[in-house]
Chains A and B, each alone.
Chain A
Amino acid sequence: MIERAQSGIIEGAPSEKIGAALVVGGGIGGMQAALDLAGAGIKVFLVEKTPGAGGIMAQLDKTFPTNDCAMCTMAPRLADLSRHKDIELLTLAEVERIEGGPGNFSVTVRQKARYVDESKCTGCGSCVASCPVRYRVQPIPEERRAVPDLAADDRSRVSEILTRWKGREGPLMPILQEINAHFNYFPEPVLRLVAQKTGVPLTHIYRIATFYSAFSLTPRGKYTINVCMGTTCYVRGSERLMEKFTSLLGVDVDQTTPDALFTLKTVRCIGCCGLAPATMIGGDVHGKLAINDVPRIVEGYRKGEAA
């Protein structure tokens, strides 16, 4: 389809200035130009070759030299652009011919076909998820599958879990949770085994395993010390509690003590706000903690371990 973006309201009167402008290119420069022009009361046509405005900057995380977040610069402009009543955005479009002269150009724009109805698209991204080109599981042929190196009882535990959840709805999370409960972390061979048995790609399992804070890809201590950093605990001084734990155990947050006894972590609210500041060690909740209580509590677990 060829559309004539002819802005001349008065046909055949080239000497009249017609109060509309056309901007070619919908990158950050083009967008700003369009917004400024429209702000000055001029009707703007913004022509962009690609399916959406944004240009190169939309693909950047940070911009040189200030390290400013690119999207933070762009997002408000994108929003303004789509909202502005005097800006007409023509995406998937290219300029073919320019006629006329200053004050009254006639521009011919080629609008390319689109498979998505723009008025209906909400930007949900579901089309990406269901695109047949991606998201096809490529099974590894039997002969090329590595045999995970696992102790016998671990192996039987894992296969017991996998068998029990076989064929049930949405089994991945419960499987991972049970494996996590058994190992206290995800050994790589186990994840490979899960991928093989469930047919879920390892990359996907990896995304899940790294998304949730209860999961870890590295071994953790026997007791996880979860210092609650919920609002109430924070307001009541849990940060100083955490400092005491770090100095006492000699490890930082998310690290494990060399004796593999404690892993220090923060947690966002364990729902014990009435007893703030609180800390959860293993399954025990310790409430109303004072900094001076910390050495005694840690010693308690150490002694319990030695006995």
Chain B
Amino acid sequence: MSAPAMQDLFTMRECAKATVALQNLRTRLVVHMGTCGTAAGAKPVLDVFRAELTKSGLTDIQIVTTGCAGLCSAEPMATVEVRDSPPVRYANLTPEIATMVFAEHVLGGHVVTPHVLDSGIPFFRKQTPVVLRNAGQIDPEKIDDYIVRDGYAALAKAIVEMTPSAIVEAVTASGLRGRGGGGFPTGRKWRACLTETRTPKYIVGNCDEGDPGAFMDRSLLEADPHAVIEGITIAARAVGATHGYVYIRTEYPVAIERLRTAIAQARERRLIGADILGSGFSFDLEIREGSGAFVCGEETALLRSIEGAVPEPRQRPPYPVQSGLWGQPTVINNVETLANVPWIVLHGAEEFARIGTPTSTGTKIFSLVGKINNTGLIEVPMGLPLREIIYGIGGGIPHGKQFKAVQTGGPSGGCIPASLMDLPIDYESLQEAGSIMGSGGMIVMDEDTCVVDVAKFFLQFTNDESCGKCTSCRDGSAALLEVLTRISDGEGREGDLEFLDELGQAVKDTSMCGLGQSLPNPVLSTLRHFRDEYEAHIKYRRCPAAVCRQIISSPCQYLCPLGTDVPAYLALIARRQFREAMDVVRKTNPLPLICGRVCMAHCETKCRARDSGGAISVRELKRFLADWELAQGTPPPVTPFPRTYTERIAVIGSGPAGLTAAYWLAREGYAITVFEALPVAGGMLAVGIPEYRLPRKLLELEIGAIAQAGVEIRTSAPVSDIDALLNDGFAAVLIAAGAHKSRQLGLPGDDAPGVVDPIAMLRSVNLKQPVPPFGDRVGIVGGGSTAMDAARTALRLWAKEVTVFYRRSRVEMPAAEEEVEAALAEGAKIEYLVEPTRIVTEGGRLRGIELIRTKLGEPDQTGRRRPIPVEGSQFVVELDSLMPAISQDADLSFIPDSSGIAVGKGVVAADPDTFATTRPGVFACGDAATGPADVTTAMATARVAAESIHKYLRGEKAHREYAPVRPSVVVEPLELEEGAASARAAMRRLPPETRAYCFDEVELGLEEDAAVGEARRCLRCDWEPHRARLKKLEADKVVTPATPAKRSRALEVLNV
């Protein structure tokens, strides 16, 4: 029987080769048409190529459609293969680029370089294609393409040269393990079936790829269906099966169609069906579709689904090899496992075992998705470290964000945190880390992903998909979900985490099939690696990633240190209700003119409009409102707050913290006296921030308003003795003295003439005092606001050359993006990745600075990557003066040890919850308590401190209530309309050539229409939590269903 079989295939291959040769092709144009390619727009690109080809009338050019080439993020892709030259791959095609590629490359022979995808990038270079050997190379609908590339040679070899037992032996020796998740040795399964004597036997290919985030089976069937057919036929030969099924989920229509075509072609060539290759061996293959039930991926459920029974799993043993389809011996393998088989038969088991690790041989396909630059399918040897996958092949995390964890194994797997970056990815290591290989989904999460939310998501999924047979799975998943939802809604209780642990373990122990046994994994593994994040949700009602909606309401409001209801005032701006909008701002912020100019805009950092035209310019809109109010005439007259309490309170310092605390305490009804050491009020606002960012006039207006409200501000009144204040009739003292002392570099020569304190320099300029000359060439060390202010001020005075030295790269710079850009525009230079090593002096005077180049290492506790000096890269820059702007400390000389107030390193030691110091009645807030921070953060601490002082004076226990963020007022959104701007509004600025010589305000604010257009871009993230609450109120019959007419009533209830 042997000769004819080989002969058949040989003839077939020669015919195929001849067909290909006959076409005498000059160029092959390959368009990748997987589901992902099509979704990204490959169809119009293909149409363009076809139209152009018809137009050209050429016959030696062929257009081929293939499956996916793996790199989804670069779809649509096409490859141009000109005879005798290496193939060139184009990425991110559009019909326009396609026209160009056809004209210039296909016809003209010139590569269109800007659109070429470098095939040497790590994404392709570091892969080892075994299963995906043909993916993206061959036309999946042409059997000849497959045969030419050694297709079905393994089948012929298996039929002709090998006994069934030898095939099983080879697969066993190769160490191949199940790729669907379980990792059971394939050879052992086949052996068990082979020894069964009952017939008929069945073989089933499992392509019910239900794990969210995994799509290797789909891609495999779309790109190379014959590999699966060949593998399954060899398997049938090995175990003696006569009939086979491939079970594919119905969500994969393209895969189903291509496999159907492939089976028909294979049958026509007698590669399956009766009497295969004339050998007398018969095997037929059929497709069975799923109908959308996750549990059907479980083998016993899948078999029951084929039988037409209710697809609930059953207890094993007996295993399917003993009692499978209709009670007969059945081998069920994942299709990826089966696609490995032809390679093993053809190249030998030893060759296969050489790839990967001793216990996990071969390769594994992973779908690399989520927050990663190169999303797509990758096939790598087992045992590759996670780091290689994320940073090598995956190209790292988008937007320079921080990698947090990767979820492997879908809803049955677990999280692998960043700390296990060097974990080799194989069956055993993953299991040890509390996860599983699963089907190979790898969902990458960055700092913006909340683990509680992800665990909740998986539980929702498994709770939905639980078939309901086992109570522990059905009800256990519901109970777990209930607790997770509670935590994510900011209503978590003490003991919840212990309960999750306990119940999760019980569900694992008592469920029957894999679904139930593994569904607690996402919860248990995130609990194991990210317990602090769960605790933040429960104890502080905080979601560190700013995701859980019922906690954060909207990311902007949540991230604002003051908790300003950003979406509400944006919505009111969109409706041109500026007065009402201003009222919303004033609810939390007594200094809107100032904050509209110098706030660091934490609110914009996680704005979801970032993906559609850029984050909303929240700060500019606040400034627009404050300016608008000012333009209405003089600011509204302020009536002094009524005095309701007799106590007097002293506030030391009139910076943003001191002013804010004074404002809230005065509003509460206390008499406040602010003591300011400098001749002007405002602290850093007045003497640190230059005029071109914050005009003095506006500062005076807002301080004036606070004074009018009943706060007494004494300037040039330094406090030297806190005891004296307390003895003087002040019931409480708040230290808000700020941090005005520049920290030195800590190098010899710190005090040399020529080393200038930038804070002192800025102070002199702002107070219009004489500034000691600092020469032409100024060097500034640091990357924060102070560094930028010093640089820009120095340029405005007499410096000719200003260079900022920063030890990390621009992404990590703490200064606001606009400030950095403005400094660069005005002529400052910035040297990134350098660290000072020596202050060069000559005759005791500064000559310059010696620096060493750095490179970025691992992230430290602050999440920023740590700079590591590069050996031997020192160099010297000559300077006339050097300003260390690395950090500032509070000047605490007025607090003697005898005062009973403990101090830390450059700060007053204050309780982070209440801002109380170690001495009763004395509190501290702002930079003096936290170290140098930004304006709004200082104001936020002031508000908390003010509340603590009030509680202290009223004899209440000083503790801080933590609550989820709630909107201050509910404003219905306008529909997104044409009127909304498409991209972030550009700020109008004075041109650099004008502004670099004066201290006029650089930023000019938004015009009214621009502001309204910008506000309309807001996606109203806050509205959905409202809606959810509204629905709950309706369900609880608190309000009637919100018909438009009754809506107002519902909104009223929500506003309470």
Residues of A within 8 A of B (CB): 61, 68-72, 75-76, 78-79, 122-126, 169-174, 176-177, 180, 200, 204, 207-208, 211-215, 229-232, 234-237, 240, 243, 267-276, 278, 280, 283-288, 290-292, 295
Question: Can you list 15 contacts pairing A with B, beta carbon distance less than 8 Å?
Answer: A72-B475, A72-B506, A123-B512, A125-B315, A173-B288, A174-B289, A212-B291, A230-B212, A231-B370, A267-B292, A268-B212, A269-B211, A272-B39, A287-B36, A291-B612
In the assembled complex, the CB of B541 is this many whole angstroms from the nearest CB of chain A, namely: 21
Q: In the complex, what distance in Å separates the CA atom of A124 from the CA atom of B457?
A: 30
User: A235-B371, A269-B215, A276-B370 provided; 13 other pairs, C-beta below 8 A?
Assistant: A75-B506, A211-B467, A212-B291, A231-B407, A231-B454, A231-B458, A232-B212, A232-B443, A267-B292, A271-B214, A271-B252, A272-B72, A274-B377
Q: In the complex, what distance in Å separates the CA atom of A271 from the CA atom of B254?
A: 12
Contacts of B310 in A (CB 8 A): 204, 207-208, 211
Contacts of B293 in A (CB 8 A): 211-213
B896 interface residue per 8 A CB criterion? no
Q: In the complex, what distance in Å separates the CA atom of A237 from the CA atom of B606?
A: 13
A71 with B39: in contact, given A231-B457, A267-B251 (CB under 8 Å)? no
Q: In the complex, what distance in Å separates the CA atom of A61 from the CA atom of B449?
A: 35
Q: In the complex, what distance in Å separates the CA atom of A177 from the CA atom of B506?
A: 38
The 8 Å CB contact of B976, one of A204, A211, A287, A292, is A292
The 8 Å CB contact of A123, one of B211, B315, B407, B475, is B315
Instruction: Kindly report which residue of chain A lies nearest to residue B369, judged by CB atoms.
Output: A273
In contact, A231 and B476 (Cβ under 8 angstroms): no
A72 with B212: in contact, given A174-B288, A283-B253, A285-B39 (CB under 8 Å)? no
Q: In the complex, what distance in Å separates the CA atom of A195 from the CA atom of B1044?
A: 47
A122 with B317: in contact, given A213-B291, A272-B36 (CB under 8 Å)? yes
In contact, A272 and B291 (Cβ under 8 angstroms): no
Contacts of A229 in B (CB 8 A): 212, 461
B180 interface residue per 8 A CB criterion? no
Best-surrounded residue of B293, B369, B407 (most CB of chain A within 10 A): B369
In contact, A231 and B410 (Cβ under 8 angstroms): yes
In the assembled complex, the CB of B523 is this many whole angstroms from the nearest CB of chain A, namely: 14
In contact, B292 and A212 (Cβ under 8 angstroms): yes
In the assembled complex, the CB of A164 is this many whole angstroms from the nearest CB of chain B, namely: 14
In contact, B314 and A61 (Cβ under 8 angstroms): no
Q: In the complex, what distance in Å separates the CA atom of A61 from the CA atom of B479?
A: 12
Contacts of B510 in A (CB 8 A): 75-76, 78-79
Instruction: Kindly report which residue of chain A lies nearest to residue B304, judged by CB atoms.
Output: A170
In the assembled complex, the CB of B691 is this many whole angstroms from the nearest CB of chain A, namely: 40
In the assembled complex, the CB of B752 is this many whole angstroms from the nearest CB of chain A, namely: 53
Q: In the complex, what distance in Å separates the CA atom of A234 from the CA atom of B75?
A: 21
Q: In the complex, what distance in Å separates the CA atom of A124 from the CA atom of B512?
A: 9
A235 with B212: in contact, given A211-B310, A213-B293, A290-B612 (CB under 8 Å)? no
- Which residues of chain B from 340 to 398 have any CB-CB distance to chain A below 8 Å in the complex? 367, 369-371, 375-377
In the assembled complex, the CB of B979 is this many whole angstroms from the nearest CB of chain A, namely: 13
The 8 Å CB contact of B471, one of A75, A123, A270, is A75
In contact, B75 and A274 (Cβ under 8 angstroms): yes
In contact, B35 and A72 (Cβ under 8 angstroms): no
Contacts of B151 in A (CB 8 A): none
Instruction: Kindly report which residue of chain A lies nearest to residue B472, judged by CB atoms.
Output: A75
Contacts of A76 in B (CB 8 A): 502, 506, 509-510
Q: In the complex, what distance in Å separates the CA atom of A276 from the CA atom of B445?
A: 14
Contacts of B252 in A (CB 8 A): 271
- Which residues of chain B from 445 to 486 have any CB-CB distance to chain A below 8 Å in the complex? 445, 449, 454, 457-458, 461, 464-465, 467, 471-472, 475-476, 478-479
A275 with B475: in contact, given A124-B315, A231-B212 (CB under 8 Å)? no
In the assembled complex, the CB of A199 is this many whole angstroms from the nearest CB of chain B, namely: 12
Taken residue by residue from 197 to 212, chain B's Cβ proximity to chain A (1 for < 8 Å, 0 otherwise) reads as 0000000000001111
Q: In the complex, what distance in Å separates the CA atom of A78 from the CA atom of B476?
A: 15
Q: In the complex, what distance in Å separates the CA atom of A270 from the CA atom of B314?
A: 27
In contact, A275 and B506 (Cβ under 8 angstroms): no
Best-surrounded residue of A78, A170, A208, A287 (most CB of chain B within 10 A): A170
In contact, A268 and B294 (Cβ under 8 angstroms): yes
B874 interface residue per 8 A CB criterion? no
In the assembled complex, the CB of A220 is this many whole angstroms from the nearest CB of chain B, namely: 13
Q: In the complex, what distance in Å separates the CA atom of A211 from the CA atom of B292?
A: 9
The 8 Å CB contact of B308, one of A171, A275, A276, A292, is A171
Q: In the complex, what distance in Å separates the CA atom of A180 from the CA atom of B75?
A: 33
The 8 Å CB contact of A170, one of B75, B292, B306, B315, is B306
Q: In the complex, what distance in Å separates the CA atom of A271 from the CA atom of B220?
A: 12
In contact, A268 and B210 (Cβ under 8 angstroms): yes
In contact, B39 and A278 (Cβ under 8 angstroms): yes
In contact, B478 and A69 (Cβ under 8 angstroms): yes
B218 interface residue per 8 A CB criterion? yes
In contact, A173 and B506 (Cβ under 8 angstroms): no
Closest 3 CB pairs between A and B? A274-B72, A172-B308, A271-B215
B441 interface residue per 8 A CB criterion? yes
In contact, B315 and A122 (Cβ under 8 angstroms): yes
Q: In the complex, what distance in Å separates the CA atom of A268 from the CA atom of B213?
A: 9
In the assembled complex, the CB of A263 is this many whole angstroms from the nearest CB of chain B, namely: 14
A79 with B509: in contact, given A71-B471, A170-B308, A274-B376 (CB under 8 Å)? yes
B764 interface residue per 8 A CB criterion? no
Q: In the complex, what distance in Å separates the CA atom of A208 from the CA atom of B465?
A: 14
In contact, B449 and A235 (Cβ under 8 angstroms): yes
Q: In the complex, what distance in Å separates the CA atom of A128 from the CA atom of B410?
A: 33
In contact, B213 and A231 (Cβ under 8 angstroms): yes
A126 with B209: in contact, given A240-B608, A288-B40 (CB under 8 Å)? no
Contacts of A204 in B (CB 8 A): 310
Instruction: Kindly report which residue of chain B lies nearest to residue A226, judged by CB atoms.
Output: B251
Q: In the complex, what distance in Å separates the CA atom of A170 from the CA atom of B303?
A: 10
A69 with B443: in contact, given A169-B326, A215-B291 (CB under 8 Å)? no
Contacts of A283 in B (CB 8 A): 253
Contacts of B253 in A (CB 8 A): 283
In the assembled complex, the CB of A17 is this many whole angstroms from the nearest CB of chain B, namely: 34
Q: In the complex, what distance in Å separates the CA atom of A200 from the CA atom of B308?
A: 10
In the assembled complex, the CB of A257 is this many whole angstroms from the nearest CB of chain B, namely: 18
